Amino acid sequence: MLSQIKTRGLNGGTDEWVEIYNPGSAPITFDSTWEVNVRNATGGLASCASTTYANRFSGAGQIIPPHGHILYASSAGFSESVSTPADGTYSSNFGIPDAAGVVLVHQNALVDSICFYYDSTTLSTLSCPGDPFTCAGTPVMNPHDNTSATNNNRSLERKPGGSGGNTANSGDNATDFQTTTPADPHDLASTPVP
């Protein structure tokens, strides 16, 4: 499941990453049948009909252990990379906006989704008339607002977070996710957590 996302950081809008958590008791082969797709919600209602989900990255055959994580980051680099290197990268030209819908898909079937916004305009975009975003319940507010004023080390993390793992799954993003400061990415080398 999608466990933690940072859409910008100390180094700006390309200082970003996506973390995925395996809550199960068996390993998962994160191969090309797994995809993370993103739909931009920053354009407002006038442009929402022209936005679609687009692939940001697919798996490369890594094995995610039970209760383990995998981390994909922008190819431009990210501020936590020294302590937690990425297990894969995606193009910084096609990053993750500060308001978006992000979906995890396996063999073309939806596994998990998160929608996040930063103001009333981007929140309304997520309910695009005739073509709403794929959100799990109520979207969660992102600590980043598409400006350099929010170039900080914060992320959206599925609860409980940290050493408690990322198992909250009520079907409501606003309930299941919290802002984590500082951001706390986990990769394949990180210790599995409950």
Q: Does the structure show a pLDDT above 90 at 69?
A: yes
CA atoms within 13 A on the CB side of 60: 11
Query: What pLDDT, on a 0 to 100 scale, did the predictor assign at position 129?
Result: 87
Question: Does a structural domain hold residue 153?
Answer: yes
Instruction: Name the band, by pLDDT with cuts 50, 70 and 90, for residue 168.
Output: very high
Distance CA 64, CA 17 (A): 17
Question: Does a structural domain hold residue 191?
Answer: no
Instruction: Name the band, by pLDDT with cuts 50, 70 and 90, for residue 130.
Output: confident
pLDDT digits (tens, 9 = 90+) for 149-160: 999 999 999 999
Question: Does a structural domain hold residue 7?
Answer: yes
What average pLDDT score do residues 128-154 get?
95
3-state secondary structure 56-112: EEECCCEEECCCCEEEEEECCCCCCCCCCCCCEEECHHHCCCCCEEEEEEECCEEEE
Query: What pLDDT, on a 0 to 100 scale, did the predictor assign at position 42?
Result: 92
Question: By residue range, what is the domain housing residue 81?
Answer: 2-180
Question: Does a structural domain hold residue 186?
Answer: no
